[in-house]
Chain A
């Protein structure tokens, strides 16, 4: 879960993809789904996850931080379900600010190499603060 944050924010993409099993998925849900401004959206498999990764700027083009906090882990054999908080902090000419917060609802599986990888990560954005300044911000702000 830490590798996800570091590789999302700095790359490389290989480390990001390595967080997911081959058919792993990343899904965004807004708190106000289904009457949301942005539709529920999912990226499934490494090809689509590569597209997801490419739709964001990364350091040093844009500095931001995905913080993951208070993970509640439920283990069941080779599967794990984790509910955690996320907070995203972004740079801005006026100073850093709180861009978004919400919850991750994760399903991970234990892999033959001993690593745990995401089968599905659901990012539930509960509030997002998109400010007008961009140094090439997300192409499609996800709030996560």
Chain B
């Protein structure tokens, strides 16, 4: 760390801040929309993948704009204001090398319920993002490792 120049250090902070902006945008857009902001988090050929770590279930993969649009509109999840939930992203560990960022972070999904809010799921995101020509960082691959999920019925 010692030998890097001040401008390099500022650039690294700026990169980390911009990476986080994309990860936060993902959560806000998934919970509230609009679709265009959700899709804007991903490269054109970006991939979203879910793995349930304690299950033999095959990974679920959505690759590219069409698949991601389908993922966004998943009727089983819904979105505010029909149903309220929060994707929390916590403790991001960011490693940047050139135009690529690898981020391991925690996620927790809180869900509304007539009995009161509850923890619907938690796990880890394992992300790869790339710096784009417009200066934004976008997700090339998001792997959501779900470690536990509630079986309560989501109110509709």
Listed in ascending order, the chain A residues whose CB lies under 8 Å from chain B are 1-3, 5-6, 59-60, 63, 65-69, 89, 91-92, 94-98, 113-115
Contact = CB atoms under 8 A, between A and B. Distances in A.
User: At the interface, is chain B mostly helix, strand, loop or mixed?
Assistant: strand
Contacts, number: 64
Nearest to B2: A114
Interface of B: 1-2, 53-54, 88, 90-93, 104, 106, 108, 118-123, 147-152
Contacts of B122: 63, 65, 89, 91, 96
Contacts of B91: 1-2, 5-6, 66-68
Contacts of A92: 148
A67 B106 CA distance: 8
Contacts of B53: 60, 63
Contact of B148 (A60, A63, A98): A63
A112 B24 CA distance: 33
A69 B1 contact: no
Contact of A69 (B90, B120, B147, B151): B90
